[in-house]
Amino acid sequence: MSLTKNPNVNKWVDEMIALTKPEKVVWIDGSKEQLDALTEEVCSLPDDSHDKMYKLNPDLLPGCLYHRTQPNDVARVEDRTFICCRNKEDAGPTNNWCDPQEMYAKLTPLYDGVMKGRTMYVIPYSMGPIGSPLAKVGVELTDSIYVVLNMNIMTRMGKAAFENLGDTSNDFVRGLHSKADVDPNNRYIVHFPEDNTIWSINSAYGGNVLLGKKCFALRIASYQGKMEGWMAEHMLILGVKKPNGEVTYITAAFPSACGKTNLAMLIPPEGYRSKGYEIFTVGDDIAWMKQGADGRLYAINPENGFFGVAPGTNEKSNYNALASTKKNTIFTNVALNNADNTVWWEGLDKNPPVDATEWKGAKVNGVEFTAQVGPDGKKQKLAHPNSRFTAPAENCPCISPEFNNPNGVPISAIIFGGRRAKTTPLVYQSFDWAHGTFIGSAVSSETTAAATGAVGVLRHDPMAMKPFCGYHMADYWAHWLEMGQKLGDKAPKIFNVNWFKQDAEGNFIWPGFGDNMRVLDWIISRCEGTVDAVETPIGYLPKKEDLNLEGIEDEVTPAILDELLTVDTDLWKEEVADLRTFYKDFGDRLPAELTAQLDALEKRLG
């Protein structure tokens, strides 16, 4: 029975029922009773069922569940991800495009009767706090209990979501998902931005099926933001509390493998903690930002949980992320420690369990297994390298008191960054918003050993949005420039950081992790206007005496500090040439302002 009187929702749900033909339909109200019953149902399935989930040790990991996806279904699939808008040019060169009518015609036969003999779950959910003027509503239809239980963690799920929508609005995102037979040749994750619609079929893995995540919160929402005058960004949100009690809020966008989650949940070094500095996490992945009544830019985290990569997460690398997983968390494609029915992954500690179940389901001696070389010539892994945890944000020890503030938090600074061995200094500030937009458009990162292909190859990832922008990237940059004009002198200041500078031997010369607080400290001082800076051709750099290096003087010597803050003119001229080539991809839709910024940089470099 429907949970809403909204005729737009009910009409669409009825149409999708007629198409997919489920045996029964269950509306998800979000109640504990309903979720407990679904948990019992999915955990009681036979072991050979692909839907099966397992309860973990109730004493050590209370409320936690374990799941394995099929081996061909373990990650987002960029080549099967489409933006379907009426004009091909509106998708731009960074997206796979298909005509909407052609794609509907291709997918409709795949969905026809796909839920016969199965249950359709109707999931109403809110992206953002219930009642927030920045929040948006989605409805996902799925035949997967795994999706229901994950969406309960990642969103504000249940009948309360319809409060934001009301009884007449048509402003909701329609999501249709079926895991079907998980045939990779018929796997599609398709976005119809002009229709507020997402269709996903033949996957049962996280980012492809939790449609509130990248699909709605970035691809669809970025298009909504352009049309409605706000911003959906692939950014963490954190608050820095100073000893006087003031909290400054910052967003930051980094490509993968650049320390985004670590920064979102940073623990300040002892010298800062002893003075009363604290970091508060508002979000680790996505920020929706809108101009407030006072003219400033305000941000909410549209999500309600963390969808984190497990391998490499440990007490040292990210204490707060690990602590977030200790209860009511769903683990996917990690390994099981059969001795105590807990989970394990590479990097958690150096002691793989002897009695283990590896991520594909085979029982093995974990010590012997991880010592063996697999078919790819690398050491065998107990957990898949992209194995995940879905953890409630409320579990995080440093979650912000403002996490559920419907109005969001006021943003003072926006940070971009990438992994660069030589060119980019530790930190610099843009001259203004337009220059900051240029810096964001130029974000690139060198590949690591974790990625396929050659190491050290420069990959462009503007604003860390290349896989997630739901329309033409050049139009997205134009939207940034428009937002800057709207915000005027209330706009956040824009910075770029690089934690990954290396010496001649390839060693990182900045300690990183908690010591990144020292860079945040300088950024906040610049926002407050309490420190001066050195003007260079690329932007404003810190005066050396304004970076607090107390306690790391032996690591960051004056010579290393010189290296961290150097601007090598020859390398930057190479950067300009590379950007000219990159910009050509965007044709005549490239904003003239960005070309002017590039020309001005070249001129300043001499």
DSSP SS3 for 519: helix
d(CA 221, CA 136): 9
How sure is the predictor about 251, in pLDDT bands with cuts at 50, 70 and 90?
very high
d(CA 124, CA 172): 10
Mean pLDDT of 208-229: 98
What token pair was written down for 297? Answer: 């830019």
How sure is the predictor about 272, in pLDDT bands with cuts at 50, 70 and 90?
very high
Told to judge if 398 belongs to the known catalytic residues of this protein, a careful annotator would answer: no
Length of the chain: 606
- Report the CATH number of the 233-305+400-605 domain: 3.90.228.20
Would you give the end-to-end CA distance of the chain in angstroms?
70
The per-residue pLDDT for range 512-550, each reduced to its tens digit, is: 999 999 999 999 999 999 999 999 999 999 999 999 999
DSSP SS3 for 471: coil
Q: For residue 485, give Cα distances in angstroms to 430, 432, 477, 482.
A: 16, 11, 13, 5
How sure is the predictor about 569, in pLDDT bands with cuts at 50, 70 and 90?
very high
DSSP SS3 for 439: helix
Q: Is the pLDDT of residue 558 over 70?
A: yes
Domain ranges of the chain: 7-50+77-229, 233-305+400-605, 306-394
How sure is the predictor about 448, in pLDDT bands with cuts at 50, 70 and 90?
low
Q: Is the pLDDT of residue 564 over 90?
A: yes
Q: Provide the pLDDT for residue 82.
A: 98
The per-residue pLDDT for range 186-214, each reduced to its tens digit, is: 999 999 999 999 999 999 999 999 999 99
Mean pLDDT of 269-282: 97
How sure is the predictor about 412, in pLDDT bands with cuts at 50, 70 and 90?
very high
Residues 259, 499 contacting (CB under 8 angstroms): yes
Q: Provide the pLDDT for residue 84.
A: 98
Residues 304, 393 contacting (CB under 8 angstroms): yes
Q: Provide the pLDDT for residue 98.
A: 98
Pairing of strands 247-253, 409-417: parallel
* Exposure b/e, 282-314, CB count within 10 A at least 16 = b: bbbbbbbbbbbeeeebbbbbbbbbbbbbbbbbb
Asked if the domains at 233-305+400-605 and 306-394 fall in one CATH topology, the answer is: no
How sure is the predictor about 453, in pLDDT bands with cuts at 50, 70 and 90?
low
Torsion, CA 30, CA 34, CA 40, CA 45, rounded to 10 = -90
Q: Provide the pLDDT for residue 375.
A: 86
d(CA 209, CA 203): 7
Q: Provide the pLDDT for residue 477.
A: 98
Number of C-beta neighbours around residue 387 at 10 A: 24
Q: Is the pLDDT of residue 460 over 60?
A: yes
The per-residue pLDDT for range 1-16, each reduced to its tens digit, is: 899 999 999 999 999 9
Q: Is the pLDDT of residue 454 over 70?
A: no
d(CA 562, CA 432): 25
Hunting for tokens 């309860």 — which residue is that? 55
Q: Is the pLDDT of residue 450 over 70?
A: no
User: Which residues, listed in sequence order, are joined to residue 337 by a DSSP beta bridge?
Assistant: 342, 356
How sure is the predictor about 374, in pLDDT bands with cuts at 50, 70 and 90?
confident
The per-residue pLDDT for range 35-59, each reduced to its tens digit, is: 999 999 999 999 999 899 999 999 9
Q: Is the pLDDT of residue 278 over 70?
A: yes
Mean pLDDT of 131-156: 97
Q: Provide the pLDDT for residue 257.
A: 81
Q: What is the 3-state secondary structure (H, E, C) of 296-349?
A: CEEEECCCCEEEEECCCCCCCCCHHHHHHCCCCCEEECCEEECCCCEEECECCE
Pairing of strands 188-192, 156-157: unpaired
For residue 394, give the amino acid letter. E
Q: Across the chain, what does the average pLDDT equal? A: 96
d(CA 285, CA 253): 8
CATH superfamily placement of domain 7-50+77-229: Phosphoenolpyruvate Carboxykinase, domain 1 (3.40.449.10)
Identify the CA nearest to 435 among candidates 305, 593, 218, 324. Answer: 593
Number of C-beta neighbours around residue 402 at 10 A: 18
What token pair was written down for 336? Answer: 């099981």
d(CA 100, CA 102): 5
What token pair was written down for 538? Answer: 């690329």
DSSP SS3 for 218: helix
Q: Provide the pLDDT for residue 155.
A: 98
- Report the CATH number of the 306-394 domain: 2.170.8.10
The per-residue pLDDT for range 75-129, each reduced to its tens digit, is: 989 899 999 999 999 999 999 999 999 999 999 999 999 999 999 999 999 999 9
Hunting for tokens 């979650």 — which residue is that? 399
Mean pLDDT of 482-501: 98
The per-residue pLDDT for range 144-180, each reduced to its tens digit, is: 999 999 999 999 999 999 988 999 999 999 999 999 9
Catalytic option among 84, 98, 258, 398:
258
User: Which residues, listed in sequence order, are joined to residue 178 by a DSSP beta bridge?
Assistant: 201
Q: Is the pLDDT of residue 329 over 60?
A: yes
Percentage of the chain lying above the pLDDT 70 cut: 99
Q: Is the pLDDT of residue 451 over 60?
A: no
Identify the CA nearest to 356 among candidates 375, 371, 341. Answer: 341
What token pair was written down for 385? Answer: 């390298």
User: Which residues, listed in sequence order, are joined to residue 124 by a DSSP beta bridge?
Assistant: 139
Number of C-beta neighbours around residue 175 at 10 A: 27
Q: Provide the pLDDT for residue 455.
A: 66
